[in-house]
Structure 1
Amino acid sequence: MLSYRHSFHAGNHADVLKHLVLMLIIENLKQKDKGFYYLDTHAGVGRYRLFSNESEKTGEYKEGIAKLWEQKNMPTVVADYVKLIKKLNYGGKELRYYAGSPLIAAMLLRPQDRALLTELHPTDYPLLRNNFKQFDNILTKRDDGFQQLKATLPPKERRGLILIDPPYELKEDYELVIKAIEEGYKRFATGVYAIWYPVVLRQQTKRMINALKNTGIRKILQIELAVRPDSEQRGMTASGMIVINPPWVLEKQMNEILPYLHRTLVPEAIGGWSVKWIVSE
């Protein structure tokens, strides 16, 4: 089943959270001169037009990046993220495009860093390939992203970030995330693994977190931003990032910026945010 298209959701509150975490991890990896490997398992097309039929149909970006676009006196980290998106929009005159995680990474990678972007969707993959053909250090591949943890780890650099961001169209996706993490960690225990997840039904999220606990893996940080209270109704109320082997500063950074994000993106003061260890050292 390959019906999910991220173009309907690009730039929403979940993307804001995901891409802030991604940016902070990459900037931390760049503190060492030695190159690193970046794997994006579910890359999408990498770049999205916000005035497309898909984006306009849902208008989700209006509750995400659009709320940050004209803000003043943002926390430095948030300002750096918005600056990246403005760079994609010809200096920020008008918000017309949004960067997917592959393009966020591409704008931050150095020549010594290397990336593999995988996408299985038959319509999205040609767009992804075309969007990244000018990058010498980025390879695109039409393949099952989960399999790449088994196929490409450990990387030759022995340093790396793996972003796992499936659509969760099927309940099996939650189980596949756990299996992929176990496979990857077995081969590359020192890598940073960043897993995005939606909160649609809280029990489903709890089951995935419990399964992660049961893997025996240590150093697992959970970061979550909720825009509505948990509900049994259809629709995403929150999203989060689970980071294995997070940079030591990430917990502090997210504790500093999440109150601002929640206040700005959710002015009704509903929902909430949290940063906590699923498993400590």
Structure 2
Amino acid sequence: MFSYRHGFHAGNHADVLKHMVLIAVLKHLTAKPTAVTVVDTHAGAGLYRLDSDFAGTSGEAQDGIVKLWASPLAAEPPPLLADYLELVASFNPSGKKKIYPGSPFVTQALLRQDPRDKLWLFELHPTDSKALADHVAQIEDHRMVAVKREDGFEGLRALIPPPSRRGLVLIDPSYEIKNDYGRVAACIQESLKKFATGTYMVWYPVIPRPEAHELPRRLKTLANQAGKPWLHATLNIGQAPERAKTHTPGEQPMRQGLTASGVFLINPPHTLKAPLQEVLPQLVEVLGRGRGQGQVVESGG
């Protein structure tokens, strides 16, 4: 259960999508003076080195943030992408671009210096939980951030609704365990009954598994049943041509790694759909690497 380590995947195309959308949601929530509570149910280690053994072994950042940095699009990015690139750059003041912030530090960077704002971080992996606590302890004022080595699905129950009735719940488990898909849907269903006005953001991998394709359909149904607006976006960079070659009988094909992912939001910012429709085709053009590439933005409610 503890085999997944996000350090192998930090800065990949899925992180680009997830964190770009996360930044947009947080900027929307913090634009009003009302206090904001953010719950990150699967926080990871919080900060990652792109030159670490983990990142070097997988090379996934090369098809994500690294390729994006080197592209002409980075020179004149659309607003949604510009905010993302600016935030990641703020963690690399030397310009060497070695540090990649995970969702805990993306969120912390955008919360206000307001003692009423609160960030709750849940991480069960013993190594990542300790690293997360150590990273948070280095923040100058970390009183607004709480780190819990607990099951985020369970821990969320006690935190909603927050006193201000304004907040974000980010859910992005590893999905290594098949029942994670069901737990995500059950968590959303239960949480909407307690905190109907909250913004919910679910990240999921687009992989050849029935549960992965069923999850966004289940989330649409739950949102529609609750009478809440929703927004769904996917980014598919396609298969790498050099890995798509046929293999000889008895030989295992080379693994492609994750080629696509999606984010599903309930009660999203009403201003988010149009910028996503603008930027995702440009990201496909930059990050796309072969057949199957594409993107989807759809909404309802």
Shorter-chain TM-score bucket reads over 0.9
Separation in 1, partners of 2:107, 2:272: 17
Cα deviation for residue 31 of structure 1 reads 1.4
Separation in 1, partners of 2:87, 2:235: 21
Whether 1:171 aligns to 2:178 is: yes
Which residue identity lines up with residue 150 of structure 2 in the other structure?
A: D
Aligned partners of 2:80 and 2:276 also within 8 Å: no
Match of 1:131 in 2: 135
Match of 1:25 in 2: 25
Aligned partners of 2:2 and 2:125 also within 8 Å: yes
Whether 1:74 aligns to 2:77 is: yes
Per-residue CA deviations over 1:10-53 (Å, capped at 9, x if unaligned) read 00000000000000000011110112001100000100011111
* SS class of match (2:126): coil
Q: Mean Cα displacement is larger for which, 198-207 or 23-32?
A: 198-207
Cα deviation for residue 163 of structure 1 reads 0.3
Identity of aligned residues (%): 42
Distance 1:257 1:202, change over 3 A: farther
Distance 1:47 1:184, change over 3 A: same
Where structure 1 has 5 or more consecutive residues not aligned to the other structure, the ranges are: none
Separation in 2, partners of 1:270, 1:176: 29
Match of 2:267 in 1: 245
Whether 1:85 aligns to 2:88 is: yes
Per-residue CA deviations over 1:126-163 (Å, capped at 9, x if unaligned) read 11011112322111111001112312100112100000
CA root-mean-square deviation: 1.8
Match of 1:198 in 2: 205
Cα deviation for residue 200 of structure 1 reads 1.2
Which residue identity lines up with residue 162 of structure 1 in the other structure?
A: V
Separation in 2, partners of 1:108, 1:138: 13
Matched residues, number: 277
Aligned partners of 1:7 and 1:54 also within 8 Å: yes
Which residue identity lines up with residue 295 of structure 2 in the other structure?
A: W
Cα deviation for residue 269 of structure 1 reads 7.2
Separation in 1, partners of 2:103, 2:122: 12
Where structure 2 has 5 or more consecutive residues not aligned to the other structure, the ranges are: 245-254
Q: Mean Cα displacement is larger for which, 178-187 or 162-171?
A: 178-187
Separation in 2, partners of 1:209, 1:98: 28
Distance 1:213 1:85, change over 3 A: closer
Match of 1:10 in 2: 10
Match of 2:101 in 1: 99
In the TM superposition, what are the counterparts of 1:195-234 in structure 2 within 5 Å?
Answer: 195-201=202-208, 203-215=210-222, 216-217=225-226, 218-228=228-238
- Please identify the structure whose Cα radius of gyration is greater: 2
Separation in 1, partners of 2:256, 2:68: 26
* SS class of match (1:197): strand
